[in-house]
A = this chain, B = another copy of it.
Amino acid sequence: MDKHSPIQITLEQRDDAVTITQWVYSTLRQAVMLGQLPPGRAVTIREMAALLDVSPMPVREALRQLAAEGALEIQGNRRVMVPRMTAMKFSELVEARIALESHAAGQALPYIDAQRLAQMRTLDEQIDAAEATGDAETVMRVNQDFHRLIYTANPHQVTMPLIESLWLQLAPFMRVAAAYLDEYYQIDRHHEAMDAITRQDPVALKLAVAADIRDGCAFASSPETLQQLLSA
């Protein structure tokens, strides 16, 4: 059954109010986010259907949607797999994140009210707590929530789906990389961002967001280190 490597994905709680396709989609999406599907590993419809105990139909639709979002890749052979990362692709994804997210932050700034800022502080504390206990997974997850909270303040925002697509493409590799170096000092860019919001300073906010992204991918600073992680 296990074609190459055995896979273990965490099953989400099944809600009857939601369609099976949506459940399969969010389950597989989370599996990609958590790096539970190794890059290059072939993801077949029937295998996933058996694993999730559903018919192949919802899996087909979920895979197509994930492929459209860049989380998965449909090869010419019509096979689906988690995309492999390259050093250049990684760099491009990070630069795209910076361009898109700093823009999204600037567009959202006028809409961030005190309540949302308070929510951001709460998340920031959760991140600090998770960092203290070395819970890298929670750090990554809540950090995403922190960023999302900024961008979605803009009620007319259209970039969140694009940003999520970039996150999906980066996640499988970030997961691997985080396991190799979860200990690195990080200037608290979140406080810089929240200060900029308090001052309603768009330039400072965009710089803080950009710096936060760059810090989070800092292991890419030395190409040889990145190359080493890619071969792992």
Contacts and interface: CB of A to CB of B under 8 A. Distances in A.
Interface in A52-110: 60-61, 64-65, 67-70, 78, 86, 88-89, 91-93, 95-96, 99-100, 103, 107
Contacts of A65: 64-65, 67-68
A92 B162 contact: no
A7 interface: no
Contacts of A103: 95-96, 99-100
Contacts of A169: 158
A68, A86, A89, A100: which has the most chain B beta carbons within 10 Å?
Answer: A68
Q: Describe A's contact surface by its main secondary structure.
A: helix
A88 to B, nearest CB: 4
B161 A165 contact: yes
A143 to B, nearest CB: 21
Nearest to A68: B68
Interface in A141-166: 154-159, 161-162, 165-166
Contact of A93 (B92, B158, B165): B158
A172 to B, nearest CB: 14
Given A61-B61, A100-B99, A100-B100, A91 B156 contact: yes
The 8 closest A-B pairs by CB, nearest first: A68-B68, A88-B156, A99-B103, A162-B162, A65-B68, A92-B158, A92-B156, A96-B159
Interface of A: 19, 60-61, 64-65, 67-70, 78, 86, 88-89, 91-93, 95-96, 99-100, 103, 107, 154-159, 161-162, 165-166, 169
13 contacts: A60-B61, A64-B64, A65-B67, A68-B68, A68-B69, A86-B156, A92-B107, A92-B158, A93-B158, A96-B103, A158-B169, A161-B165, A162-B162
Given A61-B64, A92-B154, A96-B103, 14 more contacts: A60-B61, A64-B64, A65-B65, A65-B68, A68-B69, A70-B161, A88-B155, A91-B156, A92-B157, A92-B158, A95-B107, A99-B100, A161-B165, A162-B162
